Amino acid sequence: MATETVSPACTGSSLLQPISEIINLPLDQVNFVVCQLFALLTAFWFRLYLHPSKTSPFVRHVVATLLGFYFALFCFGWYALHFLVQSGLTYGIMILTGVEHMHKYCLVVALGYLSFCQITRVYVFDYGMYSADFTGPMMVITQKITSLAFEIHDGKKLIFFKPDTECIYTQQKYNCNMRMPSLLEYFSYNCNFMGILAGPTSSYNDYIAFIEGTPCRRSKDHQTNGKTNGRHKQTDPSPNIEVVRKLATCFFSLMVFLSVCKVFPVERNIDDDFIATTPFYAQVVYLYLSMLTTRPKYYFVWTLADAINNAAGFGFNGYNSDGSPRWDLISNLRIMDIEFATSFKMFLDNWNIQTAHWLKRVCYERCPYNPTAATFILSAMWHGAYPGYYLTFLTGIVVTLAARAMRHNVRPYFLGSPSHKLLYDGITWAGTQIAICYTVVPFVLLSVGPSMKFYRSWYFSVHIGCVLLAVALPVKPRHLRLKEAPVFSHQDSTSTDGHYQQRCTHTETSTKDCRDCPTHY
């Protein structure tokens, strides 16, 4: 593969231009997919021949970093230098500033640099070009930079406070970092070949444990069928079956996207003839189908990225109750939980999971006032400069407040019998899917004009209904719910489906939808 490029449509290598013309796909997308497939093969080699038992962490860091930067150059050309600049600036901040405010400076600089690149790309170069652009990897690097800065800040805080202090959430305690990484470790964490193009984000501690071959997972006291998790000697399970399963999911998602997406274009939702001649119930059905067909491309990209990390040996998350290994430590989605979500929160908790963790740890858990609004605003800023993103996340605030009010006030009445609960789940599934589709339309349309046209065609009905529900149905403030929340035992913290859940207390937060706990909605 070569890295020279002169194409106005793609800043990366033009080596694969003939393939791009044959299959009629943009060159930048072809480069991205080919690099990811090459990264998958490299990941197997990395696990087998550069295993921690066979080589040093230094060699693994160097190889992972150099390969990552080469893939970045191949896909984005000289724009890949932004990855080094952003990482270098924030590393300097970590070295030169005090720990007390380092995390704030890193958040401002990393997010500011990302926003600058996004604004120039959108408004100077190629507005509406929804393709594999260089700011995508920068979004993941921004998450890693800020996560590490907060982890170091929390680590130093633990030195000055008691270990069991409530000033830090338990999840934050687990991710605490007591030392500054070396420059090589820092660039390896940010720019390794497994996650440079599509992520996902991971904890720095988890990444270093993977590089050094140190068994690491928070469920360290769980033992299953003689296998011990945590920082104890354990078998090194093969990820091959899981990688094959995820590749099959990728293939199916890609086929669905290529075959169905053009049948239900999102833009038809704002077509004048469609709005004028189609009954409203049919518009609702079409909205659901059109938004449903946009999701497989994300399933493809994120599942492939997860498979690459797993193939390299990264992502092991202990064992299920039946003794089978789990490879979901850094998984970014749970497709079935998304498609059958019965609440707005359940959908969001299973979509772009690592980003949700990042938002929770750097914003939601730390914001003293109105954390929901602050988290949605930060998410909008992180996603980019298109106005549609801000419309989506502003709408998301209203929908979240209404859904929370409904859940607290209405759901208890349906828990008396299985049939009532089934009815409730069916109704809330339909309501959740409509609310998600309604909220996300501007995210796809990007611009204000088309987005407002869609909302006008619906008479802003979801907005109005959500505002009325949020005002009419009382919900206790979050700090009061946290104080009143029951404390469950550690045995209750693992769900029956094998997904890890932390305890439902004010010091811990769930990564899945906790259906009966008032603290999690």
Residues 6+ apart with CB under 8 A from 113: 82, 85, 86, 89, 138
Terminal Cα-to-Cα distance of the chain (whole angstroms): 49
Catalytic annotation present for 31: no
Task: Burial-class residue 31 by CB neighbours within 10 Å (0-12, 13-18, 19+).
Answer: buried
In the DSSP assignment, the letter for residue 224 is E
Task: Name the residue among 300, 284, 266 with its Cα closest to residue 433.
Answer: 284
Q: CB–CB of 282/186 below 8 Å?
A: no
Measured between alpha carbons, how far is 170 from 168 in angstroms, rounded to an integer?
6
Q: Are 441 and 284 in contact (CB under 8 A)?
A: no
Does 192 qualify as catalytic in the annotation? Answer: no
Query: Smallest Cα–Cα separation from 373: which of 395, 405, 348?
Result: 395
| Given 383, 463, 499, 520, the catalytic residue | 383
Structure tokens at 248: 């099959």
**CA dihedral defined by 34, 115, 110, 373, rounded to 10 degrees?**
-110
Torsion on CA atoms 180, 374, 410, 475, rounded to nearest 10? 100
Beta partners for residue 79, in sequence order = none
Chain-centroid distance, C-alpha 61: 24
Distance CA 274, CA 279 (A): 9
> 508 Cβ partners below 8 Å, 6+ apart?
169, 170, 171, 502
Cβ partners under 8 Å of residue 281, min gap 6 = none
**Structure token pair of residue 352:** 């772009």
Helices (H) then strands (E): counts for the chain? 22, 2
Query: Of all helices (H) and strands (E), which one includes residue 174?
Result: helix 170-175
Q: Which candidate in 190, 352, 357, 506 is catalytic?
A: 352
Residue with tokens 């945590």: 230
- Determine contact, residues 152/99, Cβ cutoff 8 Å: yes
- The SS3 of residue 323 is coil
What's the residue count for the chain?
A: 521
Omega before 442 within 30 of 0, i.e. cis? no
- Do the Cβ atoms of 21 and 123 come closer than 8 Å? no
Would you please indicate which residues are annotated as catalytic (active-site) residues? Answer: 352, 383
